[in-house]
A and B are shown apart, each in its own frame.
Chain A
């Protein structure tokens, strides 16, 4: 039934050496404990994607001949695959993605199990790229349903995820599992599958916003030396009500970890003064690069930052007009960050969007720089080239939504939208594009408290999606309508109502009898406080 498999690799989608085959079916025992290279390859058509493991530099033999798995002999290797020149590795295992039934992380950071019917393969990633591999394979298995309709969507229930730069590191368990078509009716089977292991959620209690932190309150948290005490209580007030205008500048500098809660006033002043000097020193580094020695990387950064500065919030009086000095400030901060402070990451679009409200509010170049650094310390993984962290956040969001609104997720799956690609912009720039400046300020200062959990911004996503659920489903929206609708939500979002609803969702989740691993991981909840499985 299968077509002729070409030996021409069209594309190598993933490649990592230093991967050890730890365990394999009997016929492959002679390859066990050997080091090799793991590849994900694509042949001719997108439907021909393979996970391949090539053994390092020694000839192997096997008596096995299998339709799906085959030990490709050395002749074939020599007669023209793209890798022919690369005789450091020899073809060994080749598994059609279609046949992978389950992907399971056995040991975080390193060991993964790939399962097909009756066969299991264990691999250790000794030279890194483990999470990349797991994410890539899982993502491809997800998209495969387009080519193989008999393959069910990913089990979002099972614990994929986990977060923060070393996301997969603390995770073990099944990350992909195929639906078994033998089980009958697709829809029934899917919903049964999803609910399995989920507790009944308690009633959602209504939450209400509090009053913003006032100047008098703020002063009462300072001792005679100017140190801030009871920071936890203070943050709770900010979480519930935000900040009043007159103290906003000052408190933002604390929330973004520029000012230090524990410093007395004189030490704070000293620190700020030192930071400002540091900023100007860094700024002078790139300012002094002579035009003739400007390397291409620098020039590229310079040009793309300037191009984007010219299209950042220009409808706002603070940035409007052609000779506006604030454009220069925006540019200087981005250049200092991208060309000097974090040149490894460089400039990525969206950073300008995150900086704009900070500069607008602080209206001081050096202070805005350090506050931007504080914000970027939290959000810089959003801008990594692999986009892994962005994908993880989308995964986490769909997991949360599956936990809370399974029928909505089922609808999104039916429409091919369960990747939540339409939430990309929300997450990349923390809803900046969807809100007015005033609203974004109100939202961000609440999110910066880190309360009530690390990834509360995902619950903002969930809350916004829930608010649109009826609209999508009643109008039978598909991917295009959903994207358009989401992008047209600007200025229609009620920040206070969204925060109330997100807080209510959080309370509902944490008062659940127990929580699935995926939810604990998605929100970065303290593991010891939440039982992940019923006894």
Chain B
């Protein structure tokens, strides 16, 4: 299917916080309570619309366990957006956010939009991390924040779409060099860089119509 842009995402966070379930809920609109654990990486994609434009989200879902960090790190590269997920019913998954954030910032491009997600909001009775704590962490580190439930689908669409909106805005502002695929953004096959409705590559004036393939 034709798209104006393709954004590459990565989902990170401790094991068992619901990364794969969030992806499944977003791409397939279903919840699988018993889910095979993710080995290496998994992948999903979905089309969304922002500002009347078709945007393809290409989402890489990673294994959360620390032993695989050195392998999953290679998927950070070339991501435009990251969903950093913790489980509101397990305090330790929140405590590990700093490590995750450091890792993400070190191995990704500096413009990557990071969305902090407190998942399992349906399990209010087992909550260990207050919403305010998530908000404060996000504020302190310049992240967007949202609590979601992959089970009830609450805020799942919003989490993925709001991240895309941020990226889209950054493109409009010329922050992202859209001609450099290492930024996790690709212009759709029908939308060559010469299309005047698209913003030019930030600070790269004069490089019109850089070869199509």
> Which residues of A line the B interface, CB within 8 A?
10-11, 42, 46, 143, 146, 304, 307-308, 310-312, 314-315, 348-350, 352-353, 383-387, 390, 419, 421, 424-425, 428-429, 433, 480, 483-484, 487
Contacts and interface: CB of A to CB of B under 8 A. Distances in A.
Given A480-B45, A487-B42, A387 B15 contact: no
A349 B68 contact: yes
B182 interface: yes
A346 B74 CA distance: 24
A349 B66 CA distance: 10
Nearest to B42: A487
Identify the interface centre among B16, B43, B106, B182: most chain A CB within 10 Å of its CB. Answer: B43
A483 B41 contact: yes
Contacts of A42: 106
Contacts of B39: 349-350, 353, 424-425, 428-429, 433
Identify the interface centre among B16, B42, B67, B182: most chain A CB within 10 Å of its CB. Answer: B67
A349 B106 contact: no
Contacts of B67: 348-349, 383-385, 387
A95 B149 CA distance: 49
Nearest to B8: A480
Contacts of B182: 146
Nearest to A11: B106
A419 B70 contact: no
A311 to B, nearest CB: 5
Nearest to A432: B39
A490 to B, nearest CB: 10
B106 A10 contact: yes
Interface residues of B, number: 25
Contacts of A348: 65, 67
A315 B68 CA distance: 25
Nearest to B78: A146
Contacts, number: 70
The 5 closest A-B pairs by CB, nearest first: A424-B40, A348-B67, A425-B39, A425-B40, A349-B65
Contacts of A310: 34
Contacts of A429: 39
B212 interface: no
27 contacts: A11-B106, A143-B77, A146-B182, A304-B16, A310-B34, A311-B36, A311-B37, A312-B37, A349-B37, A349-B39, A349-B67, A349-B68, A350-B39, A352-B37, A383-B67, A384-B67, A385-B67, A386-B70, A387-B68, A387-B71, A390-B71, A419-B74, A421-B41, A424-B39, A428-B39, A480-B43, A483-B41
B117 to A, nearest CB: 19
B35 interface: yes
A307 B16 contact: yes
Interface in B168-213: 182
A421 B74 contact: yes
A90 B168 CA distance: 46
B196 to A, nearest CB: 28
B36 A433 contact: yes
B111 interface: no
Nearest to A487: B42
A424 B71 contact: yes
Given A143-B74, A349-B15, 7 more contacts: A46-B107, A307-B15, A311-B35, A348-B67, A424-B40, A433-B39, A480-B58
B14 to A, nearest CB: 10
B79 interface: no
Interface string B96-132: 0000000000110000000000000000000000000
Contacts of B65: 304, 348-349
B111 to A, nearest CB: 13
A281 B16 CA distance: 31
Nearest to B32: A311
Interface string B54-76: 00001000010111101100100
A424 B42 CA distance: 11
Contacts of A428: 39-40
A217 B157 CA distance: 61
A348 B37 CA distance: 12
A387 B69 CA distance: 9
B94 to A, nearest CB: 15
A390 B70 CA distance: 11
A310 B16 CA distance: 11
Given A349-B15, A480-B43, A487-B42, A308 B37 contact: yes
Contacts of A46: 77, 107
B34 A314 contact: yes
Nearest to A349: B65
Given A146-B182, A311-B35, A385 B66 contact: yes
Nearest to B58: A480
Given A425-B39, A428-B39, A387 B106 contact: no
Nearest to A352: B37
Contacts of B63: 349
Contacts of B16: 304, 307
Nearest to A424: B40
A312 B74 CA distance: 27
Interface in B137-160: none
Contacts of B37: 308, 311-312, 349, 352
B26 to A, nearest CB: 16
Nearest to B109: A46
Contact of A311 (B34, B41, B58, B106): B34
